Structure 1
Amino acid sequence: MKILRVTLFLAFLSLSVSAQSVYVRLITNKGNIILRLYDETPKHRDMFLKSIKEGVYRDALFNRVIKSFVSQGGELDDSILNQEKRHPEIPGKRLAAEIKPGLYHKKGALGAGRDDNKEKSSYYNQIYLVDGKPQTDAQLDAIELKKGIKYTAKQREIYKTEGGIPRLDQDYTIFGEIVEGMDIADQINSVATDKNDVPLSPVVFKAVVLSKKEAVRLKLNP
């Protein structure tokens, strides 16, 4: 009986560990940001992890920064679309959308960029951090009416107090959020830019996956 209890405990522990979310540190020249990737969007989580492993985000840039809107990193739209235009024989790569009602564009959310494809599929190597502005009930009512969605009381409260970009909800995949370093994200979103929203001084970052031991040490695991 004692052996059975130990076996069941170890099995439970194994399941608990495997169910824990993955955390990623963005090491930027402004400071560090820690992201939690959502288990509810496994394809985007795994896509991001694969890109990190392949070195896509080793010396990446926040190359499009729009104050009070988003800070975009990774590949630029123009680079992706121009490459596809030059090589029409190679089908464009997109990742099927994982748009979930409970995952929304609150301040600090991590999203996947895309073009105007009707399937709302994401680019493989473009991410953005949501900044946004506080919303009013009237603004949220208008979004609900326009998009046929319904915000929970908690979502409304967060949008009204912390801010975000509700007009992007249900159109882009959100697959994570900032859990540490919101002040650094604010600094990045406030940098001076040119007329094309490109930072005047490069904002460089490297993405590193945290080990489970480090996540536990930082008390990040739920």
Structure 2
Amino acid sequence: MARIKPQALLQQSKKKKGPARISVTTIIMSSLIVVLTVFFLYATYRHWSQRSRIQMENTQSVLEGESSFMDPKKSDLPGYAILNTAKGSITVELFKDSSPEVVDQFLDLCQRGHFNGMLFRHVIKHYVIQAGDSDKLGATEDWTLKGKHYSQLESSLKHEAFMLGTTKAKHDNKEFELFITTAPIPDLNEKLTVFGKIVKGEDIVQEIEEVDTDEHYRPKSTIGIHSVILKQSI
């Protein structure tokens, strides 16, 4: 067997391939792929997290919108009435939620001008003043003997002074009268349907109740409501 010369072995070893080297281009491309993959994953996460947050906000807005539009008629109703009297203006906050039917009737009458020129027919000092078209004592008749006693009681949320109401007895629009309490009345809810509270002009109410009256609690001088202005807010 012929022996291979050392020079030939050297030439054959040079022909053998050495270990493969990773080129710079390959490293750069791999790095870019990794960076793009991470960026894509991050962008996807941001997109879905923002979408989830927006959906939650929209759901909350819808729920709030549904609650605010459950009764659009009620929300559109004026919330305040300003009674312009000979002594000054009295601002009343209307109880649209607790007395909706009476408030609806009151607002309708205001728009028809029912209260324009209406007189305060009876004034019981430190108790109640009554405005209406009828000159009969009516609902205040059985209150007069209790007036002094009740006026000494402390006010409460349920029967406090400066509340606006009308009689509970069924009546047509012509018989719709206004009662403004000037002192706590323990049995107020038995007498009246309260549908408002004086929030400005308590001093005007007190001026009206200080007018001179006869033995039937009728003011000796004419005093009444000139007009009523309705407002959404004050």
Same fold (TM over 0.5): yes
Equivalent residues of 1:103, 1:174 under 8 A apart: no
Q: Note if 1:57 corresponds to 2:110.
A: no
Q: Note if 1:179 corresponds to 2:199.
A: yes
CA change 1:10–1:110 in 2 (3 A) is: same
Aligned counterpart for 2:106 among listed residues 21, 45, 48: 48
Aligned counterpart for 2:84 among listed residues 3, 27, 30: 27
Q: Note if 1:209 corresponds to 2:230.
A: yes
Equivalent residues of 1:105, 1:130 under 8 A apart: no
CA change 1:16–1:44 in 2 (3 A) is: closer
5+ long unaligned stretches in structure 2: 1-50, 139-155
Tell me which amino acid in the other structure corresponds to 1:5: N
Partner Cα distance (2:196, 2:111) in 1: 18
Partner Cα distance (1:177, 1:36) in 2: 5
Superposed structure 1 runs of 4+ greater than 6 Å apart? none
Partner Cα distance (1:198, 1:165) in 2: 20
Greater Cα radius of gyration, structure 1 or 2:
2
Deviations 1:5-39 (A, max 9, x none): 39636666656985487110001111111111112
Q: Note if 1:126 corresponds to 2:177.
A: yes
Deviations 1:144-178 (A, max 9, x none): xxxxxxxxxxxxxxxxxxxx111333332111111
Cα-Cα RMSD: 3.2
Q: TM-score, normalised by structure 1?
A: 0.59
CA change 1:43–1:66 in 2 (3 A) is: same
Percentage of identical aligned residues: 28
Aligned counterpart for 1:105 among listed residues 134, 151, 159: 159
The size of the alignment, in residue pairs, is 156
Q: Note if 1:36 corresponds to 2:102.
A: no
SS in structure 2 of the partner of residue 50 of structure 1: helix
Q: Note if 1:5 corresponds to 2:58.
A: yes
Partner Cα distance (1:48, 1:192) in 2: 29
Deviations 1:85-104 (A, max 9, x none): xxxxxxxxxxxxxxxxx984
Report 1:68-87 matches (<5 A). Answer: 68-76=126-134, 78=136
CA change 1:103–1:174 in 2 (3 A) is: farther
Equivalent residues of 2:165, 2:178 under 8 A apart: yes
Equivalent residues of 2:131, 2:177 under 8 A apart: yes
Q: RCO higher in 1 or 2 (8 Å CA, sep ≥ 6)?
A: 1
Q: Which moved more, 1:4-13 or 1:45-54?
A: 4-13
**Cα distance, 1:195 vs structure 2:** 2.1
Partner Cα distance (2:188, 2:90) in 1: 23
